[in-house]
Chain A
Amino acid sequence: MKVFITGDSHLGCLHKQHKAMKRARWESGDTGIPDIKITMEPMGPGGRLADAFFVDRGNYAEIVEPLYLKHMTRLPPAKGKYDWIGLSSLLNAARVWRPNWSDFRPWHMSSETGAAISDSVLRQIIKDDSGQLLRFVDVIRRTTPVFVIEPPWPFRDQRAVKQNGGAKIMHVHRLYRDYVMKELQDRNVPVVEIDRNWVDADGYTDPKFQRDPVHGNAMFARAMMERVEAFLAAQAADTAKRSVAGQT
């Protein structure tokens, strides 16, 4: 099984950990999961993923955002046939909760500062922010199955938490996640989720998984890569089973 994984900056720690895991296995003589070859290539920082960063070319998405063109020209890649494509960028709500929200608040948060905004406005913001990436998924799915890797939930010492207040951040995060999860579910796109035990009661990721205020560290990446591998192993086993049964 050949797998291509790409995405935003959260891919960085996954890539480093994937390399470290491969090296450790090689040194110990462990062959790892048989027949699964993972390639990782970044797209770039997630800041432009809500904009028109690609053009639909039918069988592939042509990347047109200059920031991402440095790394990638199209997806699926022109060379190589992949059984799965993984994306690390779909569930990252930071573009929505990171800007300055001090002048606005979800309507029900009467103790927070700022003008009340309706649920409908917030839903529209989330829909628009995630729209490009969901369309990107739709293009790739025409030729290759897609799965999504969840990034860490917000860390409590994020600058935006101090600036906007944790309640606003977590409200936006939850709405965004619920919306995108539902959209992915409707498309039958599986998600490799984080373990709920890694977040506290308020929904912040445990700082032991933290590299910097935004990204997960090696421990987080290792745990997520184990989950990714388990997911891919299950898919490979399923494919093999169906092959034996003559279904593929």
Chain B
Amino acid sequence: MKKDHPYRSQPAKAFWRQTVSEPHFLSITDWYEKKWPITDARISAAGSCFAQHLGRYLRNSGFDFQDFERPPVGLKPERWLDYGYNMYSARYGNVYSPMQLLQLMQRASGTFQPQETAWEHKGGVVDPFRPTIEPDPFGSVKELEACRESHLAAVSQLFRQTDLFVFTLGLTEAWRSKTDGSVYPVCPGTNGGAFDDSRYEFVNFNYKDTVGALKQFIKLARDINKDMRFLLTVSPVPLVATATTKQVLVASSYSKAVLRAAAGFLADTYDFIDYFPSYEIISSHVMRGTFYKPDLRDVMDAGVEHVMKQFFSVHVPPQKAEQKTPVPANTEDEDDVMCDEILLEAFGDGKR
């Protein structure tokens, strides 16, 4: 009788010694196997702050990365991030939890209208759902509402015109309204509003909550766009602080474990959901903390680059970055010519 068992047919990547122990940790391969190509997909992204890097790399590598709230003409590129432009595919700022993502979509489609719509801050008002989207608060509730209406219209357009939605799960801890369940990206009182424990409560979403919110979001997204696919990742950036009674690293481990398990379950269950292990590539003990900054929380640029190197080794960037967005006609060049001419006419005779 032949001695055989399932591990005999497993590839090399299934074995720790060959894949992890023996190579240098920067040479570890086979982190990820794609489910489908993404080269021709219109890609949008959201998530916790680590997701910004993913979006930036996709945008700069010639993928069809979508931006539904482009920066206004005249705003210098070095200001874009300060004002929430070019950060994700619309100006929602950081979306840390699946419940926040679900409510963003519901607000954009008009099926959820939070009772609290503005927080007072530094003499103005901020949007409770993106309180740091601009450095200064809005001057009035009217201004805030006009800008939010425009923003949510862009989000709505995003879900209609996206083939691949990339979401980086960041946190399970959140603050929500006791009145209507609105989930905020920050604790009320930290960047606007005032903390009041009769109005707000802390919540630490568990595995069931997380999977439930993601499934609901994905269902709604596919109701709008039936072929939409999803690429989930988990941010390797630990919690900056916990509101639980646990020590922050322990709380962070719980949070990441829940998110990782939820993403893994969904990717294993649905063929239109994939998981990319940016969390493991940075935070696994195998990497020896190499890619963390001295605070052991923030990820170095070299770490992001290493993550994206693994991603692009599988999803090879298109050969040539094409200009996907038509550039509108501009009157600038013509007027510059006109300005040159007028100076030449006035000063060109050499007699001043």
A residues lining the B interface (CB < 8 Å): 8-9, 11-13, 15-16, 19, 39-42, 44-47, 71, 94-96, 98-104, 107-108, 110, 115-121, 124-125, 128-129, 159-160, 163, 211-215
Contact = CB atoms under 8 A, between A and B. Distances in A.
B137 to A, nearest CB: 8
B347 interface: yes
Given A104-B72, A115-B154, A120-B136, A40 B352 contact: yes
Given A9-B342, A40-B352, A163-B331, A119 B143 contact: yes
Contact of B343 (A9, A120, A121): A9
14 contacts: A9-B340, A12-B342, A12-B347, A15-B352, A44-B343, A45-B339, A104-B73, A107-B146, A117-B72, A120-B138, A128-B76, A160-B331, A214-B339, A215-B342
A99 B332 contact: yes
Nearest to B134: A120
Given A100-B330, A107-B143, A45 B343 contact: yes
B135 A214 contact: no
Most buried by B among A115, A128, A212: A115
B73 A42 contact: no
Contacts of A115: 69, 72, 150, 154
A97 to B, nearest CB: 9
Contacts of B147: 107, 116-118
A121 B346 contact: no
Interface of B: 69-70, 72-76, 79, 83, 134-136, 138-139, 142-143, 146-147, 149-150, 154, 328-332, 334-336, 338-340, 342-343, 345-347, 351-352
Nearest to B149: A116
Contacts of B149: 116
Most buried by A among B72, B75, B150, B334: B72
Contacts of A101: 72-73
A47 B134 contact: no
A120 B135 contact: yes
A44 B134 CA distance: 35
Given A47-B336, A98-B331, A121-B134, A12 B346 contact: yes
B21 to A, nearest CB: 53
Given A12-B342, A12-B346, A100 B328 contact: yes
Contacts of A213: 338
A6 to B, nearest CB: 11
B146 A108 contact: yes
Contacts of B339: 8-9, 45-47, 214
Contacts of A108: 142-143, 146
B347 A159 contact: no
A118 B352 contact: no
Nearest to B74: A125
A178 to B, nearest CB: 15
Nearest to A117: B72
A8 B149 CA distance: 40
A101 B142 CA distance: 22
Nearest to A110: B146
A75 to B, nearest CB: 16
Given A116-B149, A124-B79, A124-B83, A99 B73 contact: yes
A100 B329 contact: yes
A125 B352 contact: no
A214 B69 CA distance: 31
A105 B83 CA distance: 16
